[in-house]
Structure 1
Amino acid sequence: MCEIFCFNSDKPKEVNQCLECFYKHSDEHPHGWGLATMQSDEFIIDKEPVKASCSQHLKDILSNPVVGKNVFAHIRLATMGEIVSPNCHPFIEADDNNRSWMLIHNGTIFDYPELDKYKEKEKGNTDSERILLYIIDKVNELEKAKNAPLTIKERFNLLTEIISNLSYNNKLNIMIYDGDLTYIHSNMRDSLYYRKNDDGFMVASTPLDDDENWQTVELNKLFGLIDGNIIFESEPHDNEFIFSEFHEKAIEEFLKTVNPDDTND
């Protein structure tokens, strides 16, 4: 599938070493890379539909300090959608109150018909982009009913409900950022890890070094991070995802349609 990474801290920190370790996994995830940082309350996003280790653009970026309080990265192993730039993560959309939301996803939506209507609205053709469009619609609906922007806690409560529903029968390792909160969720065992120290809070699909302080992210809960600390934690749902022969066959059928030349080996 994919791998995801985020760094969350109270002060801007350089994260080049972590990113370099993360992008080294691109041999197993060759269908694209992405990087998002926050600079002066604005998203800076770079992404390409090529293997990270083959990208001169990414090498140029990492040759200079990558510094931020909120940094997100993604490497893609496509299970849905073509190998093109609009299908690379991160995805970003604004709600009706002009709040920008960013999303990266490791997983596949096998069963959630409510996302189908976004196939005609999305820029690419991934289930991950459809998740973000769905979230934006739900935010807009609630803010319209309230006739005011949602508070941080109201946004977290809404995302808790959405993620819980989406996670049924689907793999949903996901990171979302709304300008205030970083949301983290995993529903598959041993597929997302975190490390917290004085530098900040780091989350990745696999530990990025030999530090013994890496721990697995608790399953089936949504966490909300600000300034390197968990400030919200949901109650657990029951939708643990267990990879089965059905899921494997579905992914294999898609991968047969991928052009080997698109991996930029």
Structure 2
Amino acid sequence: MCQLLGMNCNTPTDIVFSFTGFALRGGLTDEHQDGWGIAFFEGAGVRHLVDYQAAIRSPLAELIKAHPIKSKNVIAHIRKATQGSIALENCHPFVRECWGINWVFAHNGDVPNFLPELTGAYLPIGNTDSERAFCYILQECRHHFGAKAPTLAQLAPFLEQLCHQIAQFGTFNIMLSNGHALFVHCSTKLHYIIRQFPFNTAQLSDQDMSINFAEVTTPKDRVAVIATQPLTTNETWAAFAKDEFKVFVDGAVMPRSNLDQTALSVS
């Protein structure tokens, strides 16, 4: 299986610390050697890097560690191929447009028998079940809501319904973002932590590396980090429940009662 890493925060933040530990799982501390990728939102734009090499051998991965890129929403993925060849077009995350908005998607799991009819509005470029599911999600969203983007309150329950539908065909741990919200569905295993004032020191589990977040943050900062497995040894990560769907905005889990007040837009 693959592994996922996501970050959602209330102010642009770099993901160097978390990505450093996460990338080691791409062939050193774990078996995910079949490619990797990462996408950073910057306003309405997306910086998107993928590589079919293992993350521990990829010069692009070293670039991410050496040059901090600040973003409010990041999705990263390390791949252990179950469907599709080891090729650039099959590396997550995938990026598509809907309602004039960039959408980024990554999947951990396997849904080999999910073979929906795709109308042509969104078609896979590679040959993974993951990209096929992403195309289906955007196709159904566009069909259901039409040409006008829905509010976050309208979209979230519809996405949750689609995730539950697809998860009936296998394992569907996913992250999806439009640069404003980060939507996360857990079939089997995902964890998250929300770092906010007062900040403490964190120690990576995959490398002898620590950081005192109090030295690099302000009291107003809030950062949610979501990963397949906890990335640190001295922090308390919360586990998602099976079939749980959460929406993160500004570094916090959004209660459903608050979604009406949040526009579907990039801030």
Output the TM-score relative to the length of structure 1.
0.81
Map of 1:248 onto structure 2: none
Instruction: Confirm or deny that 1:63 pairs with 2:66.
Output: yes
Q: Which amino acid aligns with 1:24?
A: L
- Deviation of the 1:117 alpha carbon: 7.3
Could you list the runs of 4 or more consecutive aligned residues of structure 1 that deviate by over 3 angstroms after TM superposition? 115-118
Q: Which residues of 2 match residues 157-172 of structure 1 at below 5 A?
A: 157-172=157-172
Instruction: Confirm or deny that 1:40 pairs with 2:48.
Output: no
CA contact (8 A) 1:89 1:104 kept: yes
Distance, in Å, in 2 between the alignment partners of 1:169 and 1:142 is 22
Of 26, 34, 37, the match for 1:31: 34
CA contact (8 A) 1:222 1:233 kept: no
Of 126, 129, 132, the match for 1:127: 129
Give the SS at the match of 1:133.
Answer: helix
Map of 1:231 onto structure 2: 254
Q: Which amino acid aligns with 1:174?
A: I
**Range moving further from structure 2, 150-159 or 1-10:** 150-159
Q: Which residues of 2 match residues 133-152 of structure 1 at below 5 A?
A: 133-144=135-146, 148-152=148-152
Instruction: Confirm or deny that 1:204 pairs with 2:227.
Output: yes
Map of 2:213 onto structure 1: none
Distance, in Å, in 2 between the alignment partners of 1:29 and 1:151 is 37
Distance, in Å, in 2 between the alignment partners of 1:219 and 1:80 is 23
Residue 148 to residue 35, structure 1, CA distance change in 2 (3 Å): closer
Q: Which amino acid aligns with 1:227?
A: D
Of 67, 85, 109, the match for 1:82: 85
Q: Which residues of 2 match residues 170-185 of structure 1 at below 5 A?
A: 170-185=170-185
**Alpha-carbon displacement from aligned partner over 1:107-131 (angstroms, at most 9, x marks no partner):** 000332316778x931100011111
**Unmatched tracts of structure 1, length 5 or more:** 235-265
Give the SS at the match of 2:156.
Answer: helix
Q: Which amino acid aligns with 1:217?
A: F
- Deviation of the 1:162 alpha carbon: 0.4
- Deviation of the 1:201 alpha carbon: 0.7
CA contact (8 A) 2:73 2:180 kept: no
Distance, in Å, in 1 between the alignment partners of 2:155 and 2:108 is 22
Q: Which amino acid aligns with 1:61?
A: I
Q: Which residues of 2 match residues 108-123 of structure 1 at below 5 A?
A: 108-114=110-116, 121-123=123-125
Output the TM-score relative to the length of structure 2.
0.80
Root-mean-square deviation (Å): 1.9
Q: Which amino acid aligns with 1:229?
A: A
Give the SS at the match of 1:172.
Answer: strand
Distance, in Å, in 1 between the alignment partners of 2:119 and 2:127 is 12
Q: Which amino acid aligns with 1:194?
A: Y
CA contact (8 A) 1:221 1:233 kept: no
Query: Size of the alignment, in residue pairs?
Result: 228
Q: Which amino acid aligns with 2:236?
A: N
Q: Which residues of 2 match residues 88-103 of structure 1 at below 5 A?
A: 88-95=91-98, 97-103=99-105
CA contact (8 A) 1:152 1:180 kept: no
Give the SS at the match of 1:113.
Answer: coil
Of 206, 230, 241, the match for 1:218: 241
CA contact (8 A) 1:115 1:131 kept: no
Map of 2:109 onto structure 1: 107
Distance, in Å, in 1 between the alignment partners of 2:79 and 2:195 is 28
CA contact (8 A) 1:18 1:208 kept: yes
Distance, in Å, in 1 between the alignment partners of 2:187 and 2:178 is 21
**Unmatched tracts of structure 2, length 5 or more:** 197-221, 258-267
Map of 2:219 onto structure 1: none
Distance, in Å, in 2 between the alignment partners of 1:233 and 1:168 is 24
CA contact (8 A) 1:10 1:227 kept: yes
Map of 2:154 onto structure 1: 154
Give the SS at the match of 1:103.
Answer: strand
